[in-house]
Amino acid sequence: MEMTHPFDDAVALTSIEPGVYLGRTSAPYNNMVGPFGGVTAATLVRAVESHPDRHGDPLSITINFAGPIAEGEFQISTRATRTNRSNQHWYLEVSQNGEIATTATAVFGHRRDTWDDDEATPPDVPAPSELEQSGFPDFIAWARNYEMRFAAGALVEEEAADSTISLWVRDTPSRALDFAALTSMGDIFYPRVFQRRGKYVPAGTITLTIHFFATAEDVAAQADSYVLAHAHARRFHRGYFDQTAELWSSDEKLLATSHQLVYYKD
């Protein structure tokens, strides 16, 4: 019997009626409370990808984490709200026992040949081979599914002057990148307040938006190489902070950006 990758198990869905899918939380991707938000986001992308009416590849997704997802089964409902010539808009809900846990909107679409230019530049960091492998504490289960090599912002119990973090990351065991895995990596960063304060405080993502620049060809070319993940916050204020992030391919192409709002107590 062929073994599946733990990530594929975590985002696996069963169609129970048109547009409605059944999923199940995966212990290897548990966070401190509920599942890792990145894998929840990835499962929502997989739900749209699985829909027979889906057009194109992901362009953007916004996930609103209304409440924790409890261990066990959950249901995802998907609805295409409008389909245009080049893009398609979706509304999704994650529910358990009749209660909404997460809502999302997504845009999928077809890309066309146009004038291109890159204004963003990747951070100047050492190659993965020049950095030691490290990670998060063992009690953060989901992090054990990623190989991480930090150039800046490794998790230490010491206050930091800024919130910048840069790391090379890839799935472990090795797995070729796809849009679901790229989505999950958009939430790979531990809360920026941990870095600034040098300690663990209650914190959780309220809303996460990911914009995809990678084409299907870009994702295929990446294969199982390292992704360069870079993020920082801009303000910590009265219980909330933001985070802006970039995900770069191993050949310095901007694959995606992510933006989130996080609540915290301190």
Domain around 174: 6-110+127-264
Amino acid at 263: Y
121 alpha-carbon distance from chain centroid: 21
Q: What is the pLDDT of residue 133?
A: 96
Q: What is the pLDDT of residue 33?
A: 86
Percent of the chain with pLDDT over 70: 99
Burial class of residue 170 in the structure, from the number of CB atoms within 10 Å of its CB (0-12 exposed, 13-18 middle, 19+ buried): buried
- Residue 38 in any domain: the answer is yes
Tens of pLDDT, residues 214-265: 999 999 999 999 999 999 999 999 999 999 999 999 999 999 999 999 999 9
- Residue 217 in any domain: the answer is yes
Tens of pLDDT, residues 79-106: 999 999 999 999 999 999 999 999 999 9
- Residue 198 in any domain: the answer is yes
Q: What is the mean pLDDT of residues 138-145?
A: 94
Domain CATH for 38: 2.40.160.210
- Residue 48 in any domain: the answer is yes
- Residue 190 in any domain: the answer is yes
In the predicted structure, residue 2 carries a pLDDT above the cut 70: no
Count of the separate structural domains present in the chain: 1
Confidence of residue 1 (pLDDT cuts 50, 70, 90): low
- Residue 119 in any domain: the answer is no
Query: Nearest CA to 228 among 173, 165, 144, 141?
Result: 165
Task: Give the Cβ contact number of residue 250 at 10 Å.
Answer: 18
- Residue 197 in any domain: the answer is yes
- Residue 1 in any domain: the answer is no
Tens of pLDDT, residues 218-231: 999 999 999 999 99
